[in-house]
């Protein structure tokens, strides 16, 4: 039987996630949005691309959650994106309302689905979704860390002139400007990242990584990044559907790991068919731990504002 993945919110990240997923031919796809005709139009366009790339993927668009019934994974991208000058946290209340409905309706039709969150502010929205659906923690996961780490990898590749495939970077923490690029755990073909370039160049890369989302928002002016966030979603969906036990940085519900309890936060997780199989704990230095705590305080503030 074929896998089914539904994407709620058929805007830039939603439709681009469908695109990357269709190319992988790992699931039939459903796009849902509140805008009439738009998910139907995008789904039909994508379906009509399948003969050219030789992939047998069914793509359906709808304004009705009934179309999502029986999904293995529901990806939630519904919500407002940032405008120039806005922080991710400025989206908090409006997006919490949207995510609440999206999560409830999705689980009503797919009670066994894994929820994958993308809507910002990411960590808080994952918590909203878990709360309203009462799903176990392992079935709710948020995408941010693959994207933030990919940005850092891209910047290191540009700096060193080395293939992106050789570069391994790990960005942890909340998906905000206080995220924590773990330079000590990052490497270039096994060589510690810190040994590959002068400290000031590395500091500049860390800073650009932290502000990577804002850099794109200020260039685009009418929305936020979508190619890289969407391909990160595709990687996570594939890891789950193929039961790969893939370790990636992602937003997971912490229950004491890293000294944090009761919040979604960006940490290395192992993804498999049941969802978040485990949270991996690095042993961190005091400085790294302090940076994580600072980032966690920002996430906790949003949780308090939402009364979660």
Catalytic, 175? Answer: yes
Kindly tell me which of 19 and 82 has the beta carbon lying closer to ligand TXD.
Answer: 82
Q: How far is the CB of 116 from ligand TXD (least distance, A)?
A: 10
User: Is residue 8 close enough to count as binding ligand TXD by CB under 6 A?
Assistant: yes
Only one of the segments 10-18, 128-136, 150-158, 189-197 lies at the binding site for ligand TXD (rule: CB under 6 A); that segment is 10-18
Only one of the segments 31-39, 64-72, 128-136, 159-167 lies at the binding site for ligand TXD (rule: CB under 6 A); that segment is 31-39
Give the C-alpha separation, 113 to 207, whole Å.
37
**248 vs 88, 144, 147, 251, 279, CA distance in Å?**
22, 10, 10, 10, 10
User: Is residue 6 close enough to count as binding ligand TXD by CB under 6 A?
Assistant: no
User: Is residue 150 close enough to count as binding ligand TXD by CB under 6 A?
Assistant: no
User: Is residue 225 close enough to count as binding ligand TXD by CB under 6 A?
Assistant: yes
Only one of the segments 21-29, 193-201, 222-230, 290-298 lies at the binding site for ligand TXD (rule: CB under 6 A); that segment is 222-230
Q: 143, 236 in Cβ contact below 8 A? A: yes
Q: How far is the CB of 99 from ligand TXD (least distance, A)?
A: 8
DSSP 152: H
**CA-based torsion, 12, 13, 14, 19: positive or negative:** positive
Give the C-alpha separation, 143 to 233, whole Å.
7
3 state SS of 203:
helix
Q: What are phi and psi of 168, to 5 degrees?
A: -120, 115
Contact with ligand TXD (CB under 6 A) among 5, 59, 96, 118: 118
Q: How far is the CB of 204 from ligand TXD (least distance, A)?
A: 22
Give the C-alpha separation, 264 to 266, whole Å.
7
Q: How far is the CB of 150 from ligand TXD (least distance, A)?
A: 10
Q: Which of 292, 152, 303 is nearest to 213 (CA)?
A: 152
Which residues make up the interface to ligand TXD (CB under 6 A)? 8-14, 33-35, 77-82, 91, 95, 98, 101-102, 118-120, 122, 143-144, 147, 175, 223-226, 229
Residues marked active site are found at: 175
């Amino acid at each position: 039987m074929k896998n089914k993945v539904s994407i709620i919110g058929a805007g830039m990240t939603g439709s681009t996630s469908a695109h990357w997923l269709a190319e992988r031919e790992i699931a039939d796809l459903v796009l849902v949005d509140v805008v009439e005709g738009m998910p139907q139009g995008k789904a039909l366009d994508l379906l009509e691309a399948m003969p050219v790339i030789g992939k047998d993927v069914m793509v359906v668009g709808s304004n009705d959650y009934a179309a999502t019934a029986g999904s293995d994974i529901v990806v939630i991208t519904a919500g407002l994106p940032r405008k120039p000058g806005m922080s991710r946290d400025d989206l908090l209340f409006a997006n919490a309302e949207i995510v609440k409905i999206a999560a409830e309706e999705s689980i009503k039709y797919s009670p066994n689905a894994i929820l994958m969150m993308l809507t910002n502010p990411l960590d808080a929205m994952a918590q909203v979704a878990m709360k309203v659906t009462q799903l176990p923690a392992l079935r709710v996961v948020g995408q941010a860390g693959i994207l933030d780490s990919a940005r850092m990898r891209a910047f290191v590749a540009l700096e060193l002139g080395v293939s992106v495939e050789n570069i391994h970077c790990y960005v942890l923490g909340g998906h905000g400007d206080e995220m924590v690029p773990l330079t000590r755990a990052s490497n270039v073909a096994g060589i510690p990242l810190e040994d590959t370039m002068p400290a000031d160049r590395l500091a500049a890369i860390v800073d650009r990584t932290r502000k990577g989302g804002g850099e794109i928002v200020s260039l685009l002016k009418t929305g936020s990044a979508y190619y890289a966030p969407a391909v990160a979603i595709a990687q996570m969906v594939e890891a789950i559907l193929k039961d790969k036990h893939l370790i990636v940085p992602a937003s997971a519900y912490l229950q004491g790991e890293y000294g944090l309890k009761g919040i979604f936060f960006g940490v290395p997780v192992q993804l498999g068919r049941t969802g978040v199989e485990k949270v991996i704990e690095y042993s961190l230095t005091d400085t790294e731990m302090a940076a994580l705590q600072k980032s966690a305080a920002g996430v906790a503030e949003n949780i308090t504002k939402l009364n979660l």
